[in-house]
């Protein structure tokens, strides 16, 4: 707010001092009345609080929507591995292939909590060593610097680094 100095007669100053309001407030009201300007409405004390509260509530709702798991639809199809022969008999087919879901160990890093696949020796996020040693498909324990299994000759996860 800017400051304005008024000069007035003694009787006018005495009348202003007799009022309950301060001299500044009386002069502001007189200027507004003279210029025809309506006084600004007092700011609502709840408006800023309400605005902040609404904004926080919206942000929390958005954050929770992102964090909550979406609905998952699962469709299971069961295939019959029996073959019907022309004579009407049914026999199960013996195959060497494993049908269905391969069980892979889903582990979590002890240090950062990130999901670590079973074939990882170190956490891809923080580099912490996984809690179990690397094991080849043949069952032999592998060292992290080996590119091939000494027992069966298969490539190890460490060999994948060489391809990059």
Residue 137 to residues 102, 105, 130, 131, Cα–Cα distance (Å): 13, 14, 18, 18
| pLDDT over 80 (residue 157) | no
Give tens-digit pLDDT for 43-67: 555 678 888 888 899 888 887 776 7
**CA dist., res. 58 & res. 48, Å (int):** 15
What pLDDT digit, counting tens, does each position of 64-116 carry?
776 776 667 778 777 766 666 666 665 555 554 444 444 455 677 766 778 88
More confident residue, 8 or 104: 8
Longest dimension (CA), the chain: 128
């Amino acid at each position: 707010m800017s400051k304005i100095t008024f000069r007035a007669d003694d009787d006018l100053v005495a009348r202003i001092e007799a009022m309950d309001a301060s001299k500044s407030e009386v002069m502001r009201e007189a200027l507004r009345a003279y210029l025809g300007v309506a006084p600004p409405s007092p700011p609502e004390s709840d408006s800023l609080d309400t605005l902040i509260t609404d904004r926080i509530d919206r942000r929390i709702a958005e954050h929770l929507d992102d964090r909550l798991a979406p609905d998952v639809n699962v469709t299971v199809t069961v295939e019959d591995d029996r073959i019907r022969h022309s004579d009407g008999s049914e026999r199960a087919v013996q195959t060497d292939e494993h049908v269905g879901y391969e069980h892979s160990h889903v582990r979590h890093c002890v240090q950062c909590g990130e999901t670590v696949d079973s074939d990882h020796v170190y956490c891809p996020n923080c580099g912490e060593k996984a809690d179990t040693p690397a094991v080849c498909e043949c069952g032999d324990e592998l060292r992290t610097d080996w590119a091939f299994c000494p027992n069966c000759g298969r490539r190890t996860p460490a060999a994948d680094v060489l391809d990059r």
